[in-house]
Structure 1
Amino acid sequence: MIIVSGCLQAFYGTLLNLLQFELSPIWQVAEGGRARGSFVYPNHFANFLALCLSLAVGWLLSEMSTQKRHHSIRGTLLASVKMLLSRKLILRLAVIIMIIGLILSRSRMGNAGLFTALGAVALLALVIYRNPPRLLKPLVISIFILDMIIVGSMFGLEKVKQRIEDTSFAAEIRDEVAMDSLPIIEQHWLFGTGGGSFYGVFPNYQPNIYSGFFDHAHNDYIQFAVEFGVIVTVLLGMWVLYALFLACRSMMVRQDKLYRGVAFGCAMAIVHMLIHSTVDFNLQSPSNTLLFLTIICMCYLVRYLPSEAKSR
């Protein structure tokens, strides 16, 4: 259901963007040239797709064979083509659809965070997997080359690249908001100011250098520390890191391909969220938060659930 919802969101957002709708048919929100699906904020849409994408990649990985076969170059190519034309093709198409939606969101950290997380977790998997899938490296390379470069060039990856190049720390007000929130943490470091209170507290600390109303800090780490205090924020961070450890541990010790694949996807999703949360407030979105909590719970499940052979 998670992957299906990601595909539906990506398809809906891509359709509205390519048809150049000025207003969203559902919420009557200005599209502004960026895909946003049923979300109001395009970066929340990008984060949601990235989490779904991570699980889709993990599931696709679990479908791959771990048996080592000695193929010639021709045999390896035939095996790769056979994989793409098998039932795995549906998952592969789902990944492509969600990547198109992610690119059309024009989210800088959404795109950069996803491919960084994919590369980092894939390298880790090559080290800790006892019996890695034969096509792990070809799969990752195909996502980078086919999806990011070829598909991205068709659907506007150049615009995302241009947004990244045009990013100026002098012009990015969100960085100023995060920095100007630090005095709040210094004064309320123990218990914080209360959940959901940032929008009411920050105006008292906002300098006159820039104007505007900011209901979020554009940095989940800063906002959690402001609203809940440093101690609670550190405890929550340790909980997330422990879930990441469980996912990595599952990749190392579990023999069940499904559990290892899901663990790969969960680890990739957590790494992406850790990266994206440095510049945005994705954990303030109920849908993204619930999905992320589900992924954390899956880290525990894939680590401790018995395999089918043992349960029988």
Structure 2
Amino acid sequence: MGARRSVVPAYLFACLLFGGSTQIAWGNAILQLGAIAIIVWAALSRTRAKLPSGARALAWLVAGMTGLVALQFVPLPAAVGAAIPGRMMVRDGLLELGLAPGWQSLSLAPYDTVSAALALLPPLAVLAAVVMLRAYSRTGITVAVLAGAMSGLVLGGAQVGSPMANAEQYYLQLEVNAGTPSGFFANPNHMATLLLVAFPFAAALLESGLARDGRLADPRRVAAGGGTMAVLIVGLVLNRSLAGWGLLLPVVMASLAIILPMRWRRGGAIVAGVGTLALALILLSPAVRARFNGDAATSVSTRQEYFTTSLAVARTYAPFGSGIGSFARVYRMKEDPRGVDATIFVNHAHNDYVELLVETGVPGAVLVLLFLLWWGRTALAMLRTPSADVYARAGAVASAAILLHSVVDFPLRTSAISACLALSIGLMIVSCRRARSAGDLRPTRHIEIR
């Protein structure tokens, strides 16, 4: 049983170390092979848990996503393919080369679609292992998340603290934002996402060291959780991610709300308010502001450009999209050549939802909307459930941070963050299964026999 419960923590930690970028090809390949083994184990296991109602709804969404991926490879006759919006260029290009148009797939980049589809395996494996196999312990997954975040901070410190001549050896990818504390990721913003995800789990560790009356039950857990929370805040400040800074206060407040006893929440709010004020004063200091304003202005303007151009691409390929994984190829067709910077390669829309709209069109947008509705309903049900443990509530905060950060970046395109989202969702589902409402918790009855 002990070995079984170490599966999710060990696999999750591996995702955080080797799944931070698609550039680490060998690392992602190992993670995908491991994911296949876990999924097959979940499918064939005789001891797998029965899916709760919430998980059944999610299973249908996963089935829909799988069907959408499979649809990308369905061969279409040349006439049908040319009739789909955005595909006429394929026919015209072949004719220009003197070639007869033949059968083609719905995806304009089927090889890229294969790569994108394989990237879905790690989060599906984590979700199956949590919900169906229960192959985890709450302490184990917390240690895995916090160890991954702390390891990334240590590596990030080496990346920015070493002389530029030696700093390159601390980056695991060839294409990175040099001089930034990106840790195991190629993008420092994704490192900020991991730090935000780790914060509620550190808070849950702290809460697990408190007794029901609020007194210390395990000082070591309280010290470890509180100390880790402080380090994570410092790491987010030094990371200089605009989205990370924007989400820091909501994540801190939400984490305090899920761990503090009712009578402590007012004091906790005061402490959080004072800390936020101190943080604001630091960020607004002339030295920090002067260094950050230029980067912030550039970041906002480029994202606006990506957003506008991506919507134009989405309209071109509506309603079926250009194909999963094809964004980088079709985006370049809509760029204004006069404004292209040769030093910048746009590989993502920096908005996961817009990028999915480009690649999957209306069917993908419907699936995303249904998922968000399911997530909101599940989160509310879990938070209202008296038996929901603090780790499930931490999962709700962590998943919310990921989904919000995805509006201005692409963290879910990495196996590391997508695995964290799957873990968080799995914890929410398992918690909801224990008791759906306060009425499900029967009061204790005593019988006296004379």
Cα contact 2:171–2:184 (8 A) shared by 1: yes
Distance across 2 between alignment mates of 1:161 and 1:147? 20
Distance across 2 between alignment mates of 1:262 and 1:195? 33
Deviation at 1:144, TM superposition (A): 5.4
| Residue 265 of structure 1: aligned partner | 394
Cα contact 1:3–1:55 (8 A) shared by 2: yes
Distance across 1 between alignment mates of 2:372 and 2:274? 31
Distance across 1 between alignment mates of 2:227 and 2:391? 18
Describe the SS at the equivalent of 2:170: coil
| Residue 51 of structure 1: aligned partner | 197
Describe the SS at the equivalent of 1:135: helix
Q: 1:236 to 1:281 in 2, by over 3 A?
A: same
Which one of 191, 195, 199 corresponds to residue 324 of structure 2? 195
Q: How does 1:151-162 map to 2 (within 5 A)?
A: 153=282, 159=288
**TM-score, with length taken from structure 1:** 0.76
**2:40 aligned with 1:40, yes or no?**
no
Q: Structure 1: which amino acid aligns with 2:327?
A: F
Cα contact 1:43–1:107 (8 A) shared by 2: yes
Q: Structure 2: which amino acid aligns with 1:36?
A: S
**Aligned-pair identity (%):** 22
Deviation at 1:66, TM superposition (A): 4.8
Give structure 2 stretches of 5+ with no counterpart. Answer: 1-143, 443-450
Deviation at 1:11, TM superposition (A): 2.9
Describe the SS at the equivalent of 1:167: helix
Q: Structure 1: which amino acid aligns with 2:348?
A: H
Aligned residues: 288
| Residue 153 of structure 2: aligned partner | 10
Distance across 2 between alignment mates of 1:261 and 1:161? 40
Distance across 2 between alignment mates of 1:188 and 1:145? 50
Q: 1:241 to 1:9 in 2, by over 3 A?
A: farther
Cα contact 1:180–1:205 (8 A) shared by 2: yes
Q: Structure 2: which amino acid aligns with 1:6?
A: A
Which one of 216, 224, 227 corresponds to residue 356 of structure 2? 224
Q: CA RMSD of the aligned region, Å?
A: 3.8
**2:434 aligned with 1:291, yes or no?**
no
**TM-score, with length taken from structure 2:** 0.55
Q: 1:203 to 1:97 in 2, by over 3 A?
A: same
Q: Structure 1: which amino acid aligns with 2:151?
A: L
Describe the SS at the equivalent of 1:184: helix
Deviation at 1:54, TM superposition (A): 2.6
Q: 1:171 to 1:238 in 2, by over 3 A?
A: closer
Which one of 199, 203, 206 corresponds to residue 60 of structure 1? 206
Cα contact 2:411–2:417 (8 A) shared by 1: yes
Deviations 1:256-282 (A, max 9, x none): xxx332233222223222321121111
Cα contact 2:350–2:408 (8 A) shared by 1: yes
Give structure 1 stretches of 5+ with no counterpart. Answer: 69-78
Q: 1:262 to 1:85 in 2, by over 3 A?
A: closer
Deviation at 1:298, TM superposition (A): 1.6
Distance across 2 between alignment mates of 1:84 and 1:33? 40
Distance across 2 between alignment mates of 1:291 and 1:215? 23
**2:312 aligned with 1:183, yes or no?**
yes
Q: 1:83 to 1:67 in 2, by over 3 A?
A: closer
Describe the SS at the equivalent of 1:271: helix
Deviation at 1:90, TM superposition (A): 0.6
Q: 1:166 to 1:42 in 2, by over 3 A?
A: closer
Distance across 2 between alignment mates of 1:134 and 1:66? 12
Which one of 18, 22, 25 corresponds to residue 170 of structure 2? 25
| Residue 75 of structure 1: aligned partner | none
Q: 1:189 to 1:161 in 2, by over 3 A?
A: farther
Q: Structure 2: which amino acid aligns with 1:231?
A: P
| Residue 247 of structure 1: aligned partner | 379
| Residue 89 of structure 1: aligned partner | 223
**2:403 aligned with 1:274, yes or no?**
yes
| Residue 57 of structure 2: aligned partner | none
Q: Structure 2: which amino acid aligns with 1:2?
A: V
| Residue 101 of structure 1: aligned partner | 235
